[in-house]
Amino acid sequence: MEKLIHKAEILLEALPYIKNFYGKTIVIKYGGNAMVSEDLKENFALDIIMLKYIGINPVIVHGGGPQIDKTLSALGIQSQFIEGQRITSKETIDVVEMVLGGKVNKEIVSLINHQGGSAVGITGKDGDLIQAKRHKGVKHSPETDRPEIIDLGLVGEITKVNPRILETLDQSGFIPVIAPIGKGKNGETLNINADFVAAKIASALKAEKLVLMTDTEGVKNKDGKLQSGLTRKQVSEMVRSKVIRDGMLPKVNCCLEALKSGVHKTHIIDGRVRHALLLEIFTAEGVGTQIVEKTKDLKQA
């Protein structure tokens, strides 16, 4: 009986969060080990379905870098990166579109639907969801001590998000699963970083939350301690002092951009933890780092 009572208490702990987020949109960037481990994939699908059934509207944006690398390698095409960004040639973009828009996207959709959900897979090209321009990368040269502009090929920078197709899917009860591919001004396919896509879509939808799933615990301070909650001001200081750097830097920048555009809260969570999504959203402790505008927002659900 005590175990049953404990289960009831856990459910009641989530009640204020369910009430607060009912009818609201949460944009989730799905990637990392959570997309590789069979156990974590199944748990993620169940988490998404639960969110939908209790009245929250999840929108998923997925990555797929390892899957792209594997396919390119099998085709004898070498992957090239500069400053962590993939150089995307015409030959490469065909593979990127095939893997992201086809294989990976449909696997996620199938997984959710198999578990009892109703998901629909799209790319940023569908319904003119994502319009983009070619992104020029910056390479920092130690020899000249100055930044060098580089051509990354068919890599995109978002210029506009048209959320109408997402609103239509939501009104029909479907869960959108989005591959991070956009359309250039001449109709060309552009490969776009999934974190950036998630942030821009969250901004366009005025989402309640943006959640970035990663293979790290979250943002840590200079002593290596996980920070459960940070304000924009604290994050900016950690960036200036280079406490936040490397792969975490673009993720926090995505969070700050989303906050600036009206998203209420942003989260960087450890996707290696089972049910990380539910734990971050429905418990006070969470399993990662939430980034908000002001200190008072840390105390709110």
One-letter amino acid at 65 equals: G
Residue 159 · residue 182 · CB < 8 Å: no
DSSP string, 159-190: EEE-THHHHHHHHTT-EEEEESEEE-TTS-EE
Coarse DSSP helix, strand, coil percentages of the chain, rounded to the nearest 5 percent: 45, 30, 30
**What's the average model confidence in pLDDT over 191-195?**
94
Which tops the pLDDT comparison, 48 or 142? 48
Report in angstroms the alpha-carbon separations of 257 from 39, 48, 189, 202, 262: 32, 24, 24, 10, 9
Residue 51 · residue 26 · CB < 8 Å: yes
**What's the average model confidence in pLDDT over 128-139?**
84
Q: How many CB atoms lie within 10 A of CB 32?
A: 20
**What's the average model confidence in pLDDT over 239-266?**
93
Q: Residue 95: what pLDDT? A: 93
One-letter amino acid at 172 equals: S
CA nearest to 29, candidates 217, 264, 229, 271: 271
Q: Residue 84: what pLDDT? A: 67
- d(Cα 231, Cα 40) in Å, to the nearest integer? 30
Q: Residue 8: what pLDDT? A: 79
Which tops the pLDDT comparison, 195 or 88? 195
CA nearest to 31, candidates 63, 58, 60: 63
Q: Residue 37: what pLDDT? A: 85
CA nearest to 301, candidates 253, 195, 229, 232: 229
Find the Cα–Cα–Cα–Cα dihedral 46, 50, 56, 61, rounded to 10°.
0
Q: Residue 294: what pLDDT? A: 83
Which tops the pLDDT comparison, 189 or 145? 189
pLDDT at residue 184 above 60?
yes
Q: Residue 24: what pLDDT? A: 96
- d(Cα 206, Cα 200) in Å, to the nearest integer? 10
Q: Residue 301: what pLDDT? A: 63
For 274-301, the pLDDT digits (tens) are 999 999 999 887 889 999 998 877 766 6
Q: How many CB atoms lie within 10 A of CB 245?
A: 10
pLDDT at residue 91 above 80?
yes
How confident is residue 36, by pLDDT bands cut at 50, 70 and 90? Answer: confident
Tokens of 111: 């997984």
Q: How many CB atoms lie within 10 A of CB 128?
A: 14
| Element holding 38 (H helix, E strand) | helix 38-53
Q: Residue 3: what pLDDT? A: 75
Which tops the pLDDT comparison, 4 or 268? 268
Residue 117, C-beta contacts closer than 8 angstroms, at least 6 positions apart = 45, 48, 49, 52, 175
Q: Residue 1: what pLDDT? A: 76
Q: Residue 32: what pLDDT? A: 82
DSSP assignment, residue 101?
Answer: I
Fold for domain 25-298?
Answer: Carbamate kinase (3.40.1160)
For 50-84, the pLDDT digits (tens) are 999 999 999 999 999 889 989 998 988 887 777 66
For 97-113, the pLDDT digits (tens) are 999 999 999 999 999 99
pLDDT at residue 124 above 70?
yes
For 147-171, the pLDDT digits (tens) are 666 678 888 999 999 999 999 999 9
Q: Residue 286: what pLDDT? A: 82
Query: In percent, how much of the chain has pLDDT > 90?
Result: 69
Q: Residue 141: what pLDDT? A: 56
Q: Residue 86: what pLDDT? A: 81
241 exposed, middle or buried (CB, 10 Å; 0-12, 13-18, 19+)?
exposed
Tokens of 191: 């490969």
What integer best gives the mean pLDDT of the chain?
Answer: 90
